[in-house]
Structure 1
């Protein structure tokens, strides 16, 4: 079998190489015989953004796996393939290379789109449950058949910010709407702001730029219709990045039998601001 058509994993370096030659860095924590939970991160972050949930669940006996999306973190920075189909196929590459089965797929923000597209493209043969946290599905962009979406100008603004000074863009997002630090009375946490900035700036410029279209303009409605496993949707009702009515509530309505948990006052970055509650909600869902 030719090297460009096979999937393989280098456990010494904790990488999986995809069929198109992209190296994906991954973490594999907890007991190897524990129930499997995978984590797909948001834009422009990497798998470090899941550390609170991974450390907690690994301590509860779960095998937790998370990779850095192509072009992000410690993974390769390919010029092409920075789109949701490739993201989903990369998740499949990790799952297949590690031979993960009966996995619960957890996706945050853009990672929620990755999970949805994975199920849409690869089915649920290896999937036991799914969790969407502050996730972008069904469709963020305003279109003729999605009139409640956000206008194109919002995402063009992100693209302009990326070109003008993406370092400042990431700092502004983290210092303001991502964690809700722009709300009256909010106390900003410098550590979380710096962590967001560091993760973002580690990503490739072209990759994170292209990803804006991937998370904003990809239509996941057909993918959500293919969900046939228990699904949990968690969303803050003060999410200024991915509004709950456009995303969390709409996804829960499209997935048959989905459970929706709303965090009152929760911002977009609830994996950090509400990590203790989220950890407990994930544990309860996993144990059902």
Structure 2
């Protein structure tokens, strides 16, 4: 079983144990991939809607079939950073994650520190293995299999998962999808971007 299949199967087990139906699944970044796979493989009859934000589908890594993708060397650098000094790596990563390296950024140091705190809670092996999961998993067939309404949100200035390689490709693969790109927004959801996305998600849930 591929790691992302395990993510989706774990979620399916939780949904079964809780006896949930008519559910809406929401996922950010790698979690967006998990939401899509769960809905495609386990969601028939119980998932009513799917929403993703800054999500990795359809596939991130560059290949012969995905020439516009991100070169594997970029993901190798992430793995090297995690192994060499993950604490400093996460501190540095918080800048492009939240767009703190952009002129005019209002992201707080506290927000960046919390990103570091949450990242450090992940086990070293899990963080290392996850790089292959989010970069190399192909969700194309999962996206094609979705029949429920899907809301695809993405920051225009996402430096982690570029919008042109992800959301703008995904919307063309889903039968009933709506794409909203947030001008100037980064990968991390905070501040004005978070407030606008929250409003849009609530409207999507109620529609």
SS in 1 for 2:145: coil
The structure with the greater share of residues assigned to helix is: 2
Change (3 A) 1:200 1:98: same
| Structure 1 residue aligned with 2:103 | 184
Give, in whole Å, the separation in 2 of the partners of 1:86 and 1:133.
21
| Structure 2 residue aligned with 1:116 | 36
Please point out which of 143, 147, 157 is paired with 2:77.
157
Aligned-pair CA distance for 1:110: 0.2
Asked if 1:214 corresponds to 2:133, the answer is: yes
Aligned-pair CA distance for 1:271: 5.0
Query: 5 Å matches for 1:28-47?
Result: none
- Consecutive unaligned residues of structure 2, counting only runs of 5 or more, are none
| Structure 2 residue aligned with 1:131 | 51
TM-score by length of 2: 0.96
Query: 5 Å matches for 1:80-95?
Result: 83-95=3-15
| Structure 2 residue aligned with 1:99 | 19
Aligned-pair CA distance for 1:273: 5.2
Greater Rg over alpha carbons, structure? 1
Preserved CA contact (<8 Å) 1:179 1:273: no
Preserved CA contact (<8 Å) 2:37 2:139: yes
Preserved CA contact (<8 Å) 2:39 2:50: no
- Consecutive unaligned residues of structure 1, counting only runs of 5 or more, are 1-80
| Structure 2 residue aligned with 1:269 | 188
TM-score by length of 1: 0.70
Asked if 1:199 corresponds to 2:118, the answer is: yes
Aligned-pair CA distance for 1:254: 0.7
Give, in whole Å, the separation in 1 of the partners of 2:8 and 2:190.
21
Aligned-pair CA distance for 1:117: 1.3
SS in 1 for 2:134: helix
Structure with higher RCO (Cα < 8 A, 6+ apart): 2
Please point out which of 157, 161, 166 is paired with 1:247.
166
Query: 5 Å matches for 1:10-21?
Result: none
Change (3 A) 1:273 1:177: farther
Give, in whole Å, the separation in 2 of the partners of 1:280 and 1:123.
25
Structure 1 outlier segments of 4+, above 6 Å: none
| Structure 2 residue aligned with 1:36 | none
SS in 1 for 2:25: strand
SS in 1 for 2:152: strand
- CA RMSD after TM alignment: 1.4
Paired residue total: 207
Q: Deviations over 1:88-131 (max 9, x none)?
A: 11111111111111001101000000011112322322100000
Give, in whole Å, the separation in 2 of the partners of 1:82 and 1:171.
30
